[in-house]
């Protein structure tokens, strides 16, 4: 038996995708900056 | 082309594919009937858990090789993989509660799977704290290798915890004996997500290894 109305859980989905993107892009930037600063030395 | 540049290229390609994965998962992959849109968290939560476990597996294997062969490159690789694994385990530990809240009615529960994955995160953190605390390079590498091997030993317990203990966390539906119990389009998106997150892991580790190598030479 399935519910007639799908529960409104879209907000959690958006939050999870945003958090994942922020962490992965943030770490990309960190590595880029660290790699850049080392290549200049 | 240097390792750092190759790592940057691979990371760039992986990030473009991550954008494609987001579009595919959010727009073109069907919505699950019972959970609604929250089920789509699956396509970032599961591959991030996979990458975190892959990272710790690599830390453990490199640690064993370092202790056997005394080659500092394995230690540097383990260090790189541990840092990258921390990022993926952070994704796993933040997306998991965001999925659990609407489905289980709670952000967190101290069941076996969740507790062991939290331990994995603390092992990543502890590994790096240890490396920062020990100044002698030889001792640092040996102590870190022991922690890395502990992490490797933890991995099968994480995977099997849903079979060994009563837990809220669902059983594997892809990495299990027999056929995956997932509709075709959802399975394709999940496999794409595994590929994208693995590529991201490779790109991150190549960059981090190159950074560690240059810092060591400087």
Q: Is the dihedral of CA B2, B53, B83, B138 positive or negative?
A: negative
Mean per-residue pLDDT, B40-62: 97
- Parent domain of B160: 39-175
Residue B69 lies in a domain: yes
Residue B118 lies in a domain: yes
Q: A12 and B98 in contact by Cβ < 8 A? A: yes
A36 touching chain B per CB within 8 A: no
Residue B1 lies in a domain: no
Rounded (10°) angle between helices B42-69 and B72-104: 160
Distance of CA A2 to the CA centre of its chain: 31
A37 touching chain B per CB within 8 A: no
Residue B113 lies in a domain: yes
Residue B4 lies in a domain: no
Q: B101 and A12 in contact by Cβ < 8 A? A: yes
Residue B2 lies in a domain: no
Mean per-residue pLDDT, A15-32: 98
The per-residue pLDDT for B9 is 97
ipTM of this complex prediction, to 2 decimal places: 0.92
pLDDT 10s digits, B102-153: 999 999 999 999 999 999 999 999 999 999 999 999 999 999 999 999 999 9
Mean per-residue pLDDT, B62-83: 98
Does the structure show a pLDDT above 80 at A4?
no
| Chain A, chain B: beta-carbon pairs less than 8 Å apart | 98
Residues 6+ apart with CB under 8 A from B65: B71, B74
Does the structure show a pLDDT above 90 at B1?
no
The per-residue pLDDT for A23 is 98
Residue B212 lies in a domain: no
Residue B31 lies in a domain: no
The per-residue pLDDT for B25 is 95
DSSP E strand stretches across B148-190: none
Q: How many domains does chain B have?
A: 1
Does the structure show a pLDDT above 60 at B31?
yes
The per-residue pLDDT for B217 is 57
């Amino acid at each position: 038996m399935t519910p007639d109305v799908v529960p409104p859980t879209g907000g959690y989905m958006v939050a999870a995708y945003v958090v994942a993107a922020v962490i992965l892009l943030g770490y990309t930037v960190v590595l880029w900056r660290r790699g850049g600063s080392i290549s200049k030395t | 082309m240097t390792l750092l540049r190759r790592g940057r290229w691979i990371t760039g390609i992986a990030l473009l594919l991550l954008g494609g994965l987001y579009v595919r998962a959010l727009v073109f992959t069907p919505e699950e009937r019972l959970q609604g849109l929250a089920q789509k968290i699956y396509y970032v939560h599961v591959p991030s858990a996979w990458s975190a476990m892959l990272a710790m597996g690599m830390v453990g294997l490199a640690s064993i090789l370092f202790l056997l062969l005394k080659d500092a490159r394995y230690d540097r690789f383990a260090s790189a993989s541990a840092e990258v694994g921390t990022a993926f385990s952070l994704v796993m530990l933040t997306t998991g509660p965001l999925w659990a809240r609407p489905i289980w009615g709670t952000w967190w529960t101290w069941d076996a799977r969740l507790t062991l994955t939290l331990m994995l995160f603390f092992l990543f953190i502890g590994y790096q704290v240890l490396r920062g605390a020990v100044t002698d390079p030889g001792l640092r590498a040996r102590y870190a290798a022991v922690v890395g091997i502990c992490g490797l030993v933890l991995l099968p317990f994480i995977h099997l915890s849903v079979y060994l203990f009563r837990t809220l966390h669902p059983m594997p539906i892809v990495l299990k004996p027999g056929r995956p119990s997932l509709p075709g389009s959802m399975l394709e998106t999940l496999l794409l997500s595994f590929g994208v997150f693995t590529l991201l892991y490779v790109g991150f580790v190549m960059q981090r290894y190159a950074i560690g190598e240059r810092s060591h030479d400087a």
